[in-house]
Amino acid sequence: MTTRTPTSAWRTVLGIVLAAVMLFPLYWMLNVSLTRTQDLRLDPPRWFPSEPTFTGYRAVLSQQLPALGTSLLIGLGTVLLTLAVAAPAAYALSILRLRGRGTVNFVLLVAQMIPAVVMAMGFYAIYVRLGLLNSVWGLVVADSTVAVPFAVLLLSAFMSGIPKELLQAAHVDGAGVGRVFTAIVLPVSRNSVLTVSLFAFLWSWSDFIFASTLNRNGDLIPITLGIYRYIGNNTTEWNSIMATAVVASIPAAILLVVAQRYVAAGVTAGAVKD
Amino acid sequence: MSTTASQVGNPGSAGGTRHRASSLPPTRPPRYSGQWTALAFAAPLLAYLAVFYALPLYRNIDLSLHHYTVRAFVRGDAEFVGLDTYRRVLTDGTFWPAVRNTLIFVLGSLAVQYATGLALAVFFRGTFRLSGLLRALFLVPWLLPLIVSASTWAWMLNSDNGIVNALLAALGVDQVNWLTSPTAAIWSVTLANIWLGIPFNLVILYSGLQNIPADLYEAASLDGAGPWRSFWSITFPLLRPVSAITLLLGFVYTLKVVDVIWVMTTGGPANASTTLAVWSYREAFGTGQPDFSPAAAVGTLLILIALVVGLIHLRVQHRLEEA
C-alpha cells in the first residue's frame, strides 16, 4: 500500500467514473430490458427507461424458467462432481506426496490449455455412441472438465500450506489417512473448497459451447442456450433478450455480493502453478 | 516455481481477508503411509483424466485422421486418410484469414487488456475511499455468462439502433457498421473481448503489486524519482513474473474463445471475424452439415499453438528463476 495519497478525493471520483464506464454495458442491458418494444428503434436511444415495461421479464418467466432450473441442476451437479474428483486427488498430491505428482501437475496444466471446442467434438463423438447426447448428466461431465484441473491445482496449493504439526498431531492421536482427510484437511480447506465450488458453478452456468453441442435438442436445455435461441427467434424483441440476460446474470451478482473475497482469491489462484 | 506462486497467490482481496493458501509457505510434511494409499486417493482423478480428457482427445485426433462423413460418423467406418485433412485445412481459403483474425483477436485483446489492467491495478494500489468496493465492481463483467455480455455488446454495436453509433453521431462521427462490415467486425469482437478480460488482468496484476515492498517506493521517492520513473524502474520490472503468467493465461483463454464471436457475428460477414477456434466450431456444429474431420484438424492445431506458447513460457520462467 502506498501511503502518499493526500489527494484521495480525486482518486475516488476518478474511480467512480472508471467503474461507471466499465459497467456501462450492464446498465445498458438493464435499460434495454425495461424499454418498450416500440421504443427500441428510437434514434437516438433513450438513456433511461422513462416508461418502463416488464413485458420482457414476463416473457422470461413464462418461457425460460425451466432453462434456469436446468442450469441450476447442471451447476450443482458440476460442483459435486468436481469436488468428488478434485478434493481427494489434491490430498494425495499435496499431503500424501503421491509419487509422480510433478507429472500429474503438468498434465493438469496442459489440460487447461485444451480448447473447449476440441473437447466438445471428442465428447460429441463419444456421446453419440453412448446415447448421452441431450442429457443433463452428459453436460455435467463435460462442464466439469473446465473446473477439475483448476480445482486440483488450487486445492493442492492450499493443502500443502496446512501446518504439518496439525497433521502430525492427528496422526499421533491415532487418526488414519482417511480420518485426517475428513476431520482435518477438508474442514481446514473450507475456504478453498468454497472458491472452487463458486468457480465450478459459475463456469458451468456460463457454458455455451458444451450446451450448444451436446445438449442442443434436449427437453432440458440450459439458460445460455435458451438465450441463444431467443436471439435467433426474436431479433426484434431485444427487451426480452436483455431481460433474459439480466435474469441469467443473477447468480453471478448474488455470488459476487456473498462471496466476493473468494472470487478475487479464485481469479488469482488461476495463476498459481507448481 | 514457488516464488511465482506466492507472489501472485496473494490476492489481498477486496474484503481484506487474505486467502490462506498464499500466505503460508509450502511445507513438506512427512509421508503418512504408503504410496498405495496416495494412489487410492488420486485414483478418481486419474480415472477421470483418462476417460474425460484422454478419450475425447484421442477421439479428436482420430476424427482428424479419418475422412468422417455424417454417415461414417454414426456407423464408425470412416476411411483412414492420414494427414490429408491437415493438408486440406492448411490450403483452405479460410485458413489465412482465420490465422490473421486469430492474431488480431489474441494479440489485440492481450495488449489492451494487459495495459488497461495494469493501469487500473496501479490506480487501485493507492488507498482511497471506496477503492475496495469499486475494485469489486470491476470484477462483474468477468463473472457474467459470456453469452450475456456478447449479446449486450451486439445490441450496443447494432448499426441502426445501437447506443455506440448514437454516441458517435452526437460527436459528429459517421455511423460505423460494427458487426456487418468486413473491416470492422474483427475489431468489434476484439473490443468486447477486451472488456471481458480487463477484470482478470486487474485482479492478478493488483495482487502482484501487493507483493512489491513499499519501502522500495519510499527509497525511490527520496532519491527524487517521480511516479513515472518509479513505475518503469520498480513496478514494471518487479512485476515481470506476474505479467508473464497473466499474459500466458490470457493467451490460452483468448485462443479458445468461440462464444463471444459466435454470438456477435458468427464469424462473419463472410470470414471477416472467423478465428481458428470459430472456424473449428463452425465446421463441426455451426452449419446443418457437420464436417468433423477438418474441425478436429483445426482443433489439433489450436492445441499445438497453446502447447508451444506454454512451453516457451515455462522456459522463459525457468531462465528468469536461474538468473
Q: How many CA atoms lie within 13 A of B228 on its CB side?
A: 0
State whether B45 and A260 contact (CB < 8 Å).
no
Q: What average pLDDT does range A113-117 have in this prediction?
A: 91
Q: Is residue A1 scored above 70 in pLDDT?
A: no
- What's the total number of domains in chain A? 2
Nearest to A209 among B8, B44, B258 (CB): B258
Q: Which of A49-53, A267-271, B263-267, B295-299 has the lowest mean pLDDT?
A: A267-271
Percent of chain A with pLDDT over 70: 95
Q: pLDDT exceeding 90 applies to what percent of chain A?
A: 53
Do A71 and A49 sit in the same domain of this protein?
A: no
Q: Please say whether the beta carbons of A35 and A239 come within 8 A.
A: yes
The alpha-carbon gap from B304 to the nearest alpha carbon of chain A, in Å, equals 9
Contacts of A267 in chain B (CB under 8 A): 11, 139, 142, 199-200, 203-204
Q: Are residues A133 and A61 in the same domain?
A: yes
Domain range holding B301? 84-322
Task: Kindly state whether B137 is in contact with chain A, defined as any CB-CB distance less than 8 angstroms.
Answer: yes
Nearest CA among B214, B224, B7 for reference residue B125: B214
A10 plus A80 within the same structural domain: no
A18 and A68, same domain (yes or no) = no
Per the CB < 8 Å rule, is B35 touching A99? yes
Q: Tens place of pLDDT for every residue, chain B, 323 residues?
A: 333 333 333 333 333 333 434 444 444 444 445 788 999 999 999 999 999 999 999 999 999 999 887 777 777 778 888 898 999 999 999 999 999 999 999 999 999 999 999 999 999 988 888 888 898 889 888 889 999 999 999 999 988 888 999 899 889 888 889 999 999 999 999 999 999 999 999 999 998 998 899 898 889 989 888 888 989 999 999 999 899 989 998 999 999 999 999 999 999 899 999 999 999 999 999 887 888 999 999 999 999 998 898 888 888 877 877 76
Alpha-carbon distance A29 to A234, whole Å?
A: 16
Q: Are residues A129 and A195 in the same domain?
A: yes
Cβ-based neighbours of A197, under 8 Å, separated by 6 or more: A79, A82, A83
What is the grid cell recorded at A120? 466438445
Say whether pTM exceeds 0.95.
no
Do A11 and A144 have their domain in common?
no
Q: How many structural domains is chain B composed of?
A: 1
Q: Is residue B61 part of a domain?
A: no
Best of A152, A260, A268 to disrupt the B interface by mutation (most B CBs within 10 Å)? A268
How many Å apart are CA B100 and CA B96, to the nearest integer?
Answer: 6
Of A43, A121, A241, the CB nearest to B151: A241
Q: Which of A1, A85, A113, A150 to mutate to test the interface with B (most CBs of B within 10 A)?
A: A113
- For residue B280, give every residue at least 6 positions away whose Cβ sits within 8 Å of its Cβ, in sequence order, or none: A115, A117, A118, A121, B295, B296, B298, B299, B302
Residues A173 and A85 in one domain: yes
For residue A272, is it within any domain?
Answer: no
- Asked if residue A39 and residue A170 are part of one domain, the reply reads no
- The residue written with cell numbers 524502474 in the block is B233
The residue among A36, A53, A70 that closes a domain is A53
The number of beta carbons lying within 10 Å of the beta carbon of residue B3 is 11
Q: Is there a contact between A206 and B58 if contact means CB atoms under 8 Å apart?
A: no
Residue that the C-alpha cell 463419444 belongs to: A126
Is B36 part of the contact surface with chain A (CB cutoff 8 Å)? no
Q: Which residues in B lie closer than 8 A to residue A22 (C-beta atoms)?
A: 137-138, 141, 195, 198
The CATH number covering residue B269 comes to: 1.10.3720.10
Q: Please check whether residue B64 lies inside any domain of the structure.
A: no
Please check whether residue A269 lies inside any domain of the structure: no
B interface test, pick of A98, A118, A216 with most B CB neighbours within 10 Å: A118
A173 min Cα distance to partner chain B (Å): 13
Domain limits for position A23: 1-53
Q: The complex's ipTM?
A: 0.89
| Nearest residue to A77 (alpha-carbon basis) of A163, A204, A244, A176 | A204
Residue whose C-alpha is closest to residue A115's, from A88, A145, A138:
A145
Whether residue B243 lies within 8 A of chain A, CB to CB, comes out as: no
Residue A153 identity (one-letter amino acid): L
Q: Is the peptide bond before B56 cis (omega within 30 degrees of 0)?
A: no
Q: Chain B residues with CB inside 8 Å of A29's CB?
A: 148, 152
Query: B7, B33, B52: which to substitute to probe chain A, counting the most A Cβ within 10 Å?
Result: B52
Residues of A in contact with B296 (CB under 8 A): 118, 121
Residue-level pLDDT at B78:
80
| Half-sphere exposure (Cβ direction) of B72: Cα atoms closer than 13 Å | 14
**Nearest neighbour of B63 by CB, restricted to A115, A125, A269:** A125
CA A231-A247-B132 angle, 5° bins: 120
Residue-wise pLDDT tens digits, A240-263: 889 999 999 998 888 878 887 777
Find, in chain A, the residue whose alpha carbon is nearest to that of B218.
A2
Number of A–B residue contacts, CB under 8 Å: 386
Q: What local confidence, expressed as pLDDT, does residue A270 receive?
A: 61
| pLDDT tens, position by position, A223-239 | 999 889 888 877 778 88
pLDDT of amino acid B7: 35
Contact flag A25-B195 (C-beta cutoff 8 Å): yes
Query: Residue B33: what pLDDT?
Result: 55
B123 touches chain A (CB under 8 A): yes
Residue of A nearest to B282 (CA): A117
Same domain, A40 and A140: no
Length of chain B: 323
In the structure grid, which three cell numbers stand for residue B317, read together? 520462467
Domain assignment present for residue A4? The answer is: yes
Of B8, B161, B258, nearest to A268 by CB-CB distance is B8
CA torsion sign for A72, A74, A75, A80 is: positive
**DSSP labels, A133-202:** TT-HHHHHHHHHHHHHHHHHHHHHHHHTTS-HHHHHHHHHTT--HHHIIIIIIHHHTHHHHHHHHHHHHH
Of A53, A72, A92, the last residue of a domain is A53
Instruction: Indicate the burial class of B252 (C-beta count within 10 angstroms; 0-12, 13-18, 19 or more).
Output: buried
One domain for residues A122 and A204: yes
Contact B57 A114 (CB under 8 A): yes
A238–B199: do the CB atoms touch at under 8 Å? no
C-alpha angle A274-B1-B5 in degrees, rounded to nearest 5: 70
A contacts of B33 (beta carbons < 8 Å): 96, 177
Last residue of a domain, one of A35, A53, A71: A53
- Whether chain A has a CB inside 8 Å of the CB on B205: the answer is no
- HEC string of chain B equals CHHHHHHHCCCCCCCCCCCHHHHCCCCCCCCCCCHHHHHHHHHHHHHHHHHHHHHHHHHHHHHHHEECCHHHHHHCCCEECCCHHHHHHHHCCCHHHHHHHHHHHHHHHHHHHHHHHHHHHHHHHECCCCHHHHHHHCCHHHHCCHHHHHHHHHHHCCCCCCHHHHHHHHCCCCCCCCCCCCCCHHHHHHHHHHHHHHHHHHHHHHHHHHCCCHHHHHHHHHCCCCHHHHHHHHHHHHCHHHHHHHHHHHHHHHHHCCHHHHHHHCCCCCCCCCCHHHHHHHHHHHCCCCCHHHHHHHHHHHHHHHHHHHHHHHHHHHHHHHC
| Confidence at residue A271, expressed as pLDDT on a 0 to 100 scale | 58
CATH of the domain at A85: 1.10.3720.10
Q: Residues A143, A207: contact at Cβ < 8 Å?
A: yes
Same-domain status, A180 and A45: no
Closest approach of A127 to chain B, Cα-based (Å): 10
Same domain, A79 and A19: no
Q: Is residue A274 part of a domain?
A: no
Residue B224 zone, left/alpha/beta (φ > 0; ψ -120 to 50; rest): left
Side-chain half-sphere exposure of A24, counting CA atoms within 13 A: 14
Q: What type of residue is B312?
A: I
CB contacts of B299 in chain A (<8 Å) are 115, 117-118, 121
Once rounded to an integer, what is the mean pLDDT over residues A37-60?
82
C-beta separation of A139 from A214 below 8 A? yes
pLDDT of amino acid B64 = 92
Whether A273 maps to a domain, the answer reads: no
Contact of B2 with chain A, judged by CB distance below 8 Å, is answered with yes
A135-166 confidence digits (pLDDT tens): 999 999 999 999 999 999 999 989 998 998 99
Q: Is residue B76 part of a domain?
A: no
Task: Answer yes or no: is B127 within a domain.
Answer: yes
